[in-house]
Amino acid sequence: MIVLTDVKKSFGDLEVLKGISITIEDHQIYGIIGQSGAGKSTLLRCINGLESFQSGSITVDGEPVVISDQKKLHLLQKKMGMIFQNFNLLSRLDVYDNVALPMKFWGMKTKTPEAKEKIKGLLKLVGLEDKIHARPAELSGGQKQRVAIARALVLDPEILLCDEATSALDPGITREILALLQQINNEMGITIIVVTHQMEVVKQICERVAFIKGGTVIAEGKPEDLFVRPSKEVKAFLQEESGHLPDTGVNVQLFFNNESSDDPVITMMARELGIDFSICWGKLEDFRSNVFGSLVINISEKDKEKVLAYLSGKNVICEVL
Ligand SMILES: Nc1ncnc2c1ncn2[C@@H]1O[C@H](COP(=O)(O)OP(=O)(O)O)[C@@H](O)[C@H]1O
Ligand SMILES: [Mg+2]
């Protein structure tokens, strides 16, 4: 478990983290989303001890992250693999030696039968067995990130930190890399922290997410709760507008989850209540393969109570706008 309590960090006069408190459970895929400059990379670097912070605390499995204790810090860093947007592969080394690099750093032999088996196993996991002797220049972006993932796993970490790992990749490749991360989380039980500015990333794989803005957490929870029914602040972050809603009558927003989204509630309501209304806005979204939706309808004032009673009877969450 990773626990951050009121973490504050400044670079000179610039306050970058203004009191961040989040808890990341073991085996979770946890998203940290925010626009460029929000402080996400700084936060990640504080978690793995690459960056110091002025106040608050960070613990990993109960152990505080303290930069001054180098010996402890190195052991902690061994527990954490990291991948980046630009892959950070060494161009003069082939795939095998790039993956083996952390072993070298720790003074381990990289050509023993055990090491070879380990590295070949990881290359199989990431789908690059046939590229074992290729140089980075011969690989596509997605393949380079796969090498970086294998390298991040070579010391058997408990935690994988991903800083904008898919931001340089096109949407199809992004989905493949995210599926691989999900597989690693599932099969190896590794906790994954995903830092990103891309909503799609959070929607596809994160079980929980923290929205960071100006160095503070403006919202935290399950992505489906935060994206489907966003608070004002999250809405502003998502820059989402529910279109131009009519200024006469009553606008009602309906929220559908996995169980309710199959039912034809809307047409049933029109028929059973004998009323008419317009549909003004709607969206359907996928969260880890679950569909969630939202719809805004415009009804006349006189039907308001009837409609709200009907919807609550059908367990549809709704809100008068
Ligand atoms: N080493 C540094 N020295 C001074 N300012 C920094 C340093 N690293 C980051 N910053 C500043 O901290 C803020 C947050 O940066 P960062 O954590 O990289 O944001 P994000 O990853 O969300 O884009 C930015 O304003 C950035 O310029
Ligand atoms: Mg960053």
pLDDT for 6-20, tens place per residue?
999 999 999 999 999
Q: Do 142 and 275 fall into the same domain? A: no
Does 215 contact ligand 1 (Cβ within 6 A)? Answer: no
Q: Do 15 and 142 fall into the same domain? A: yes
Q: Which of 7, 8, 11, 196 to mutate to test the pocket of ligand 1 (most atoms within 8 A of CB)?
A: 11
Centroid of ligand 1 to alpha carbon of 114 (angstroms): 40
Least confident of 69-73, 88-92, 138-142: 69-73
Q: Which of 174, 201, 236 lies at the terminal end of a domain, its last residue?
A: 236
Q: Which pTM value belongs to this model? A: 0.89
Counted domains in the chain: 2
Torsion of Cα atoms, 71 then 72 then 76 then 78, to 10°: 30
Q: Does residue 242 form part of some domain?
A: no
CA-215 nearest atom, ligand 1? 14
Average pLDDT, integer, range 245-252? 92
Q: Which of 18, 20, 36, 42 to mutate to test the pocket of ligand 1 (most atoms within 8 A of CB)?
A: 42
Q: Do 35 and 179 fall into the same domain? A: yes
Q: CATH number, domain at 86?
A: 3.40.50.300
Q: Residue 37: nearest ligand to its CA?
A: 1
Q: Do 278 and 130 fall into the same domain? A: no
3-state secondary structure of 81: strand
How would residue 151 be classed by pLDDT, with cut points 50, 70 and 90?
very high
Rounded to whole angstroms, the Cα distance separating 76 from 127 reads 28
Rounded to whole angstroms, the Cα distance separating 222 from 207 reads 6
Q: What is the DSSP letter of 157?
A: -
Centroid of ligand 2 to alpha carbon of 167 (angstroms): 10
Residues ≥6 apart with Cβ < 8 Å to 188: 153
Q: Do 190 and 269 fall into the same domain? A: no
Q: CATH number, domain at 273?
A: 3.30.70.260
Strand 29-33 relative to strand 208-213, pairing: parallel
> What is the domain extent for residue 290?
250-320
Q: Do 212 and 255 fall into the same domain? A: no
What are the tokens at 299? 């009804």
Length of the chain: 321
How would residue 118 be classed by pLDDT, with cut points 50, 70 and 90?
very high
